[in-house]
């Protein structure tokens, strides 16, 4: 069973999540079993059809790990589908403005607060067996997580205004896109990029919101926590690649002895 307080725990201290970009329920389940606090299923850069995406959410839930879906675009149909599948939240890329942030919030909340279509037959509502329908609607609005990306100079400039939009839980500072959009594709760890990230994360925390970012290793995780981030996300792919490289290097060394 998913801890009903898992989202609240993000306000109390850091949780470690993991991107899964492969369209595979098995890899989602394996990643969840490793011990991450939540999965971030990447349907922005992954290639997942709706059936596979739902199975990946289900696989994460099978080992009691919350599943967030990063949608391809800031469009209502992607967010509504992910939530109907039973995802514990959505993450929306390239949110640069108040209008974009407000649109994401509207897609994720039922009326009168938002514009999410009401249905009691999808997986999220236990296929119609949710019992008290009014209670289901209230709990669905309260328990799901809405995360938006801050990853361009425009988003950084509009951060204070975006923070004023009610209904956003996490503001996720994306280091890769931010570095490239700032002209530092050759060096994503450029001091200007790191300084911008730190200022954004500290501003998000000062406003009482959850700050998130991508962390590629333990040192970057430590630094992000120091700045105030608690929604920390790595990715399973680099560890799979590095494991294979290490194996081949070590076995070839031993074969050549």
Instruction: Give the integer Cα–Cα distance in Å for 164 and 160.
Output: 7
Instruction: Give the integer Cα–Cα distance in Å for 41 and 53.
Output: 8
Choose the catalytic residue: 45, 109, 184, 190. Answer: 45
Residues in the chain: 257
Instruction: Give the integer Cα–Cα distance in Å for 2 and 200.
Output: 30
Q: Known catalytic residue: 184?
A: no
Residues 49, 85: contact at Cβ < 8 Å? no
88, 94, 99, 105: CA torsion to nearest 10: 0
Sign of CA dihedral 230, 178, 48, 115: positive
Q: How many CA atoms lie within 13 Å of 125's alpha carbon, on the beta-carbon side?
A: 19
Instruction: Give the integer Cα–Cα distance in Å for 169 and 179.
Output: 24
- Residues with active-site annotation: 45
């Amino acid at each position: 069973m998913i801890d009903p307080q898992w989202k609240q725990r993000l306000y109390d201290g850091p949780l470690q999540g993991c991107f899964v970009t492969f369209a595979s329920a098995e890899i989602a389940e394996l990643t969840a079993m490793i011990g991450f606090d939540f999965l971030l299923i990447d349907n922005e850069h992954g290639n997942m059809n709706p059936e596979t995406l739902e199975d990946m959410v289900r696989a994460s839930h099978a080992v009691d790990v919350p599943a967030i879906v990063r949608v391809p675009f800031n469009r209502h149909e992607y967010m509504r589908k992910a939530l109907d599948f039973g995802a514990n939240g959505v993450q929306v890329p390239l949110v640069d403005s108040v209008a974009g942030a407000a649109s994401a919030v509207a897609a994720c909340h039922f009326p009168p607060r938002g514009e999410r279509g009401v249905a009691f037959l999808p997986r999220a509502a236990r296929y119609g067996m949710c019992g008290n329908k009014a209670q289901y609607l209230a709990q669905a609005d309260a328990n799901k997580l809405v995360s938006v990306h801050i990853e361009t100079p425009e988003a950084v400039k509009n951060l204070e205004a975006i923070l004023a939009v009610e209904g956003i839980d996490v503001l996720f500072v994306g280091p890769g896109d931010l570095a490239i959009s700032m002209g530092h594709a050759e060096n994503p760890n450029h001091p200007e990029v790191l300084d911008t990230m730190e200022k954004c994360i500290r501003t998000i925390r000062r406003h009482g919101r959850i700050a998130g970012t991508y962390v590629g290793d333990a040192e970057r995780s430590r630094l992000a926590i120091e700045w105030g981030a608690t929604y920390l996300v790595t990715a399973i792919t680099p560890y799979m690649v590095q494991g294979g490289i290490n194996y081949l290097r070590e076995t070839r060394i031993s074969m050549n002895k």
